[in-house]
Copies of this chain bind each other. A is one copy, B any other.
């Protein structure tokens, strides 16, 4: 066994990565600022369920976690839109295989921690990273229980310390480094639709519910216990904003006016609203992601994105898979970490920037475009084109959610596809007139087949 790899941050990315590395025979030490979540109920206010999609599942399957994780999942077949007192289900994909899953963040994180320990990963909780010397990979850590502070040299340090990563902020001073953070105008707040008296879901279980309202929206993802975790997204400041909802009455009024069918499902709304924090959402873009053979950023620490494409965790899990493949055939005693880090960045950075863009765009889709008939017309045509030309035309959403096509490819093909859809539909409001022979010519000319991908 070679030297010990230190992973800073035992969230979803860090704990899955530790499993990958342990399976390759590396000695792995995982340190985490928080207490062991397996010993406690989770705290309110953190996103307590997440959308798991194909990319994430593949990365879990690759370490043999498929069977353990599937009982934690709830299939979501589409978006259930709540508008004008009507419900409308928009399927996500073209068939029953093209779905996404709701999963409990702590449930999944616990599974990953248990699995990591079973693979021999050493995990130290309550360890706060106070300082990182990126030139020597020496970290200064405070033990939050004893209060003691100590230093350790890592071989190497892999930082999975999330969107506020101290390691990234330190790395950002390196020669040639660029680092940009962009905080969304909108914030979020988590609320609950409790289970009914029988412990069952009070609205359709197998859907991601959306109350799209243009300037803001409410969404709900199902939990195994019959409840839904609801998230309100709206401006942090301004006329109708988290800042303006400053009393129980204001909150109740707002929900009565805007989300009255959801309000009926949330008996504890006003209390929860003030008990739970208002979260911020940030997009992080930085470069480089590594320092020589010493330090690497992975997951949100390198490329935090907003949650609207449900790809933050999926992207981080795909990071782990890609990173693992780069180690194939390397002896644990003699890894050329610098090359591995450089290749990792080369494979992932453009893709991370692409999904960052797509996630920002998808907020508009969720809160606004889903209400537009033309959006649905284009979606219908997308599926028709996919049915007819499955090697060339895959709806952009599907490329991101149901395939492993690199995000950057999905993004660039998506731009061309959007233009094609606009041209093929023209000013019409049905698809009756679409000429699929000329559609094929256009697709062949401008798009070609999807390149084979890993």
B-contacting residues of A (Cβ < 8 Å)? 172-187, 235-237, 280
Residue of B nearest to A179 (CB): B181
Could you pull out 22 A-B pairs where Cβ atoms are within 8 angstroms?
A172-B181, A173-B183, A173-B280, A174-B183, A175-B183, A175-B184, A175-B185, A175-B235, A175-B236, A175-B237, A176-B184, A176-B185, A177-B181, A177-B182, A178-B180, A178-B181, A178-B182, A178-B183, A179-B180, A179-B181, A179-B182, A180-B181
A182-B236 Cα distance, complex, nearest whole Å: 28
C-alpha spacing A243/B178, complex, angstroms: 20
Complex-state Cα separation, A181 to B172, whole angstroms = 8
Assembled-state Cα–Cα distance A184/B178 (Å): 9
Which 4 pairs between the two chains have the least Cβ-Cβ distance?
Answer: A180-B180, A175-B236, A176-B185, A178-B182
Bound CA–CA A180/B180 (angstroms): 4
Give 9 A-B pairs besides A177-B183, A180-B181 with Cβ atoms closer than 8 angstroms: A172-B181, A175-B184, A175-B237, A176-B183, A177-B181, A178-B181, A178-B182, A178-B183, A179-B181
Smallest CB–CB gap between A178 and chain B, Å? Answer: 4
Shortest A234–chain B CB gap in Å is 11
Question: Once the chains are docked, how many angstroms separate the CA of A166 from the CA of B96?
Answer: 52
- Enumerate chain B residues within 8 angstroms of A187, measured Cβ to Cβ: 175
CA distance A235 to B175 in the complex (A): 8
Chain B residues contacting A280 (CB-CB under 8 Å) are 173
Query: Distance in Å from the Cβ of A238 to the closest Cβ of chain B?
Result: 9
Q: Which residues of B contact A236 (CB under 8 A)?
A: 175
A184 — which chain B residues lie within 8 A by C-beta? 175-176
In the assembled complex, the CB of A328 is this many whole angstroms from the nearest CB of chain B, namely: 30
Please, which residue of chain B has its CB at the minimum distance from the CB of A287?
B182
User: CA A175 – CA B282 in complex, angstroms?
Assistant: 10
A184-B177 Cα distance, complex, nearest whole Å: 7
A180 cross-chain contacts in B, Cβ below 8 A: 178-181
Residues from chain B with Cβ under 8 Å of A176 in the complex: 183-185
Residues of B near A174 (CB, < 8 A) are 183
| A172:B183 contact, CB within 8 angstroms | yes
Report how far A180 CA is from B182 CA in the complex, Å.
Answer: 9
